[in-house]
Structures are given as structure tokens and as C-alpha cells.
Amino acid sequence: MPRTTRRTTRPTAAASAGFTALLLAGLAALTGCSGGDGADGPDRGFAGALPGRAPAGASPTPTPTPPPTGPYVALGDSYTAGPRIAPQVGEPGGCGRSGVNYPSLLAKALVLAPGQFRDVSCSGARTGDLKAPQQTDGGPNPAQLEALTPATRLVTLGIGGNDAGFMQVVTECAKDTLVDAVKDLVGGDRAAAPCREHYASGGTDEVRARVDAAGGKVAEVLQEVRRRSPQARVYVIGYPALLPADPAACVPVLGTTVAAADLAFLTEKEQQLNAMLKQRAEAAGAVFVDTAGPSAGHDMCAGEDTRWIEPPFPAHGLTPVHPNARGEEGVAAAVLKAVRG
């Protein structure tokens, strides 16, 4: 995919304004966000194999479960769909599904026939859009759960970020950064972490509360998946790392106007989101696939040839703060590892 060279340093208040404006423009229609992977535990989903009978005196050894052969249904939001990653396929066009998103790459790796794979993911999807039609610029996307049948044998689910309002949090942090930079220009006192103060003032962690509330909705979806496809192996896909462990690594990309403490705050909130997904997956008997670990070092502040997530100033034609084609490949590899066990 052709890429253009991006500008790197935005250390001024004016750059903060650009950072904010681009986030608002790029995320307005999408609002889709992102523990150990499935290989760390029993790869059983909702219908795993039972351990085989071991000889007397020997330790029981689980019988390997062969990879599923389909039908496979992919459910999820924009981090699953792959908006603006060429080629864009399927209907409605407003969902922004890529022909090389991780579900498509997984289906190819499993050598599934076209009739054995359905990708119904859609940018902007919340858990409610899995149960009812979702309106998009290209027309309605049918309720995603309607793609499931008793014959379905593999399900991947990438959802929850929009319910928790994660992209709104990212955008709000950009706004708070801009306001704080303006204060600095007029001689006011700057906050050490304006975004953290915005969401956690008064002793209440608003973002954590949103994540916890989203957890209940994810649990309901997993129950419905089990009801509709009781023999399916189900994998809940976590969100890849947006930011590096060391906020200083983001200075060349985001500039010094973005408070390091706020970058740490966003990382903390994403970790809470993934922890919630892991807990809900395990409680439902599904497998959680960690993508934050494999994506370490491939965050939005990594080099253009390395990153899995595009920064606020993305490569030409791609979506800010969303996976690129390399990111979809990386997530596909993590999911395939979990599926194969």
C-alpha cells in the first residue's frame, strides 16, 4: 500500500490545535477504538475438547483440539473492520470493511471456503449494534448476531471500545491539551495531566466506570453468541497498544504539548479495557486473545515502517488512531496462534 512521509514534531500550541482538529475530523464518523493470549490457557471456546484418558499412573494430557474448519463469523467494530485499508469490500460501504482485515487473513490461513466465512463487523459498532441494525453512511448494517447459526463453529468478537467511549476519551484528551497550551500562552498555570483531571476529578474515575458498564454489555453479547451457536469456539479479541510504555517516545510524533502524564493515563485506561474483556471472556468460557503484548513497539509513536496503529497525522488515506494493514496482519497472527493452540 503506498504511504506518504508524515510530519513528525508538533511542539507548539498551534500544533495542538491541528492535533485536535484532525482527531475530531477523523473520528467523528468512526468512534471505534481496542492479559495473555489464548495459547496461555485451554483453547476451548464454548465447545472445547475434553481431556483424553491417560494411562494409569500418568498425568492426564489434554487432547489437542484441531483448528475449526468453519463456518466462521467475525463480529466487531472498526478495529476489526479495517476502515480505509485497501481493498474495501462488502456492503454496506459505510462499515469500512477491508479485504485484508484480521478476520479475512484468519479465514485465508485456515483455508476456509468463501461460503464458510462471514465478516459482519462495522466501524462505529457498539454492543447494541450486534443485536439491532446499525445505521451507516452507506445504509444499514444488519444486526451482526443474525449471522450466527447453530452450524457456526468459529466466532471472533472485537467489541467494547465504543461502549466505553474510548475514542471520545482520546479526543477529549486532545481538547484538554489544546486548552492547557492556550493557558500557557497567556501566562496561566498548566496542569500536569489535564485529561486525567478532567475524567478523575472529585475522586470518581469516569472512564473506569464506563469500562465497567461496558463489561456487562459484553457479557450479554457472549451469552447470546453461546445461545445462537452453542458449538462454536469463541475468541474475544483485545485492542492493540496505542501508545508506548515510555511517553517520551511520542515526542517526535505528538510534540511536547501532549502531557506525558496524560499519555500514561490513556495507556492505563486501555489496559483497563483489555482487562475487562479478558475477565468477561473467561467468565463466559471464551478465549481472550491479547494483542497489546504482540503490538508492543508497534504503537502509533513507532516509525512509519514499524507501527501497527496510525498516529493523529496518519499515512495518506488511512484512519487516525486505528490499525493499518500491518496492524491487521499482526492481530491476525495473534488470533491464528490462539486458534491453532
Residues marked active site are found at 78, 322
φ, ψ dihedrals at 196, nearest 5°: -60, -40
Whether the link from the prior residue into 71 is cis, omega within 30° of 0, is yes
Q: What is the DSSP string of 108-130?
A: HHTT--GGGEEE---TT--THHH
- Within 137-229, where are the H helices? 166-185, 194-200, 206-228
CA 34 – CA 78 distance, rounded (Å): 9
CA 96 – CA 93 distance, rounded (Å): 6
Tracing cell 497489546 back to the chain, one arrives at 292
- Within the chain, where are the H helices? 13-27, 78-81, 102-109, 128-131, 166-185, 194-200, 206-228, 251-254, 260-283, 325-340
Q: Tell me if 121 sits within 8 A of 39, measured CB to CB.
A: no
Q: Tell me if 300 sits within 8 A of 309, measured CB to CB.
A: yes
